[in-house]
Amino acid sequence: MSHIEEGKTNLVFRELPSLLRNGTQEALAEHPCIKLLQQAVLLVARKYDGQILPYYYNYWDRQLPTNTGLALHIPVQEGKSAGEALPRGIGLVVDAETGALAFRGDSWGVDPAFYEQLQRAIVQTYTALAHMAVLRQMNYEVRTEQVEGKITITGGTYAA
């Protein structure tokens, strides 16, 4: 039998708790942090031929919604081990009190290393996108390169 487990991150979105309590799902979806998080999950989903849904499943295939509207699902694929799939998905949930981001899902049957790899990839991609956004706001020209799972961000300004 499986159970829902939670993976904590160091990402904290301080503005989101009040929006979660007082706002609408549309307002939350338009918040810059959620937009960047959605982009990060989408990039990881594309890499693993997955999709984003607003919920994940428990063992009994009951849908459990996420307050971010983001859950990564990766189907079992031909030529890959069943342990490299997320048929029940993994949800991204923001704590309504603290703003801390957590991953929730049922990892039964999923290779633990793969499960952790996906969580790290989402956090790493989000962090890179956030850094790039800040550099662009500061009028830097931003370039990125990804080599062996590491993202390098280069920013520079040029005098006109």
The ranges of the chain with pLDDT < 50 are: 1
* Counts for the chain of helices (H) and strands (E), in that order: 4, 9
Q: Structural domain tally of the chain?
A: 1
7 near 100, Cβ under 8 Å?
no
47 near 71, Cβ under 8 Å?
no
pTM of the model: 0.87
Label each residue of 18-40 as H, E or C.
HHHHHCCHHHHHHCHHHHHHHHH
94 near 118, Cβ under 8 Å?
no
Residue 157: what pLDDT? Answer: 67
Residue 153: what pLDDT? Answer: 72
Q: What are phi and psi of 125, to 5 degrees?
A: -65, -40
d(CA 155, CA 143): 6
Domain with 50 in it: 4-156
Residue 9: what pLDDT? Answer: 87
